[in-house]
Amino acid sequence: MKKTFFTAGPAELYPTFEAHLRSAMDEQVGSISHRSQQFRDIYKHTDEQLRALMNIPASHGIFFLGSASEIWERVLLNCVEHESFHLVNGSFSRKFYEYAQSTHKYAHILEKSFGQGFSYNDVEIPEYAELVCLTHNETSAGVQMREADMHKLKRSNAKKLFVVDMVSSAPYPDLDFKVIDSAFFSVQKAFGLPAGLGVWIANDKCLEKAERLQKYDDTHIGAHHNLPTLWKNYQKFETPATPNVLAIYILGKIAADLNKIGAGKLRKETDSKAKILYKFLENSTNFDPFVTSPEHRSATVVVANTKVPAAEVMAALKKQNLVVSSGYGAFKDSQIRIANFPATSSEQVEGLVAELAKFG
């Protein structure tokens, strides 16, 4: 019996994944050169499909790296000379902040407790911060920051660069890339691919900053996957090093499938599935939504407090071939996390809720 993965990543594969994998085998993409026209066509196709899906303008390049956490380091090295600023409310946003410390940036932090979200009025950006690091969806806590709040923050701090970690929500957030300088995600979350590819979206202002830093000090921006080198190769739809061609190929195909549905409809479907989950949690005697403020509740990773031990809930679900993620860190025994990505249908979400309802 096949399992259904409501896990926050790696997650359920998108339903068309297998067919695209087979066509990749037919086209022998695992053996082609990354300097061939066939690869350039694959990169170009994936680029076009992501641009259409996420409304990415020509000012921004789209680059392929190893993972999202690699991009944390790249964006810090390439876009910060001295100071960065981080909104932290869980494990992933905290790690981004820790990467800034490890790369010897003066990292400012505004912290909220686990389960709390950020709104525009909560945030004062330090004067000398060059890069503002936001996390659209804090995967560990199931907390989301509204796009309008992120856009407003940038508009009132127009000279600073803004980067958005959208790893566990892309392509759901409706980011305005005329405002947001950079964003990134990896493919094993809402796009429903196996892990092994990070996607970095960055504009000409990020490039200018990286080039300026490179002029001062040739080592500042690092040797591997620095932005000027990525950008130069991107002009020919190539990558500096040999990339994950198979994943780039399949990402383009899945993005094309999602474009057939349309970004607006995808968002509506995500919202309606999230509503099913939150409504169940609110009315249940054994579960509660962890995030109390509805405007900060994530649409893509729903975190539930459980009154019975979380391990019992997970074991009962497993018997029905349903897999959810455990709570993060200290919340391992008292929470479950349910991913709500495009790969799982509303029927599958209803099925999960029916099993959870057996606990009362």
Of 66-74, 115-123, 316-324, 344-352, the segment contacting ligand PLP by CB under 6 A is 66-74
Sheet containing 287-289: which strands, arranged edge to edge? Answer: 4-6, 322-326, 335-339, 301-306, 287-289
Instruction: Kindly state the smallest distance separating residue 96's Cβ from ligand PLP, in Å.
Output: 7
Position 303 contacts ligand PLP (CB under 6 A): no
Position 67 contacts ligand PLP (CB under 6 A): yes
Using the CB atoms, write b or e for 111-132: b if 16+ within 10 Å: ebebbbbbeeeebebeeebbbb
Instruction: Kindly state the smallest distance separating residue 222's Cβ from ligand PLP, in Å.
Output: 17
Phi and psi at 32, nearest 5°, equal -75, 155
Instruction: Kindly state the smallest distance separating residue 167's Cβ from ligand PLP, in Å.
Output: 4
Query: Which of 167/245 has CB closer to ligand PLP?
Result: 167
Query: Which of 79/190 has CB closer to ligand PLP?
Result: 190
Chosen residue from 186, 244, 298, 306 binding ligand PLP by CB under 6 A: 186
Of 52-60, 163-171, 214-222, 276-284, the segment contacting ligand PLP by CB under 6 A is 163-171
Judged by CB under 6 A, the chain residues 94 through 153 that form the site for ligand PLP are 135, 139
CB 320 within 8 A of CB 355: yes
Chosen residue from 4, 46, 84, 168 binding ligand PLP by CB under 6 A: 168
Query: Which of 118/280 has CB closer to ligand PLP?
Result: 118
Chosen residue from 47, 165, 181, 257 binding ligand PLP by CB under 6 A: 165
CB 51 within 8 A of CB 228: no
Judged by CB under 6 A, the chain residues 1 through 40 that form the site for ligand PLP are 9
Chosen residue from 163, 167, 183, 317 binding ligand PLP by CB under 6 A: 167
Chosen residue from 68, 100, 199, 207 binding ligand PLP by CB under 6 A: 68
Instruction: Kindly state the smallest distance separating residue 168's Cβ from ligand PLP, in Å.
Output: 4
Whether omega before 10 lies within 30 degrees of 0, making that bond cis, reads yes
Element (H, E) at 216: helix 204-216
The beta strand positions in the chain, using DSSP E, are 4-6, 60-65, 83-88, 106-111, 131-135, 137-138, 143-144, 161-165, 182-186, 198-203, 287-289, 301-306, 322-326, 335-339
Position 92 contacts ligand PLP (CB under 6 A): yes
DSSP per position, 237-258: T--SS---HHHHHHHHHHHHHH
Judged by CB under 6 A, the chain residues 198 through 257 that form the site for ligand PLP are 198
Taking the alpha carbons at both ends of the chain, their separation in whole angstroms is: 26
Residue numbers of the site for ligand PLP (CB under 6 A)? 9, 67-69, 92, 135, 139, 165, 167-168, 186, 198
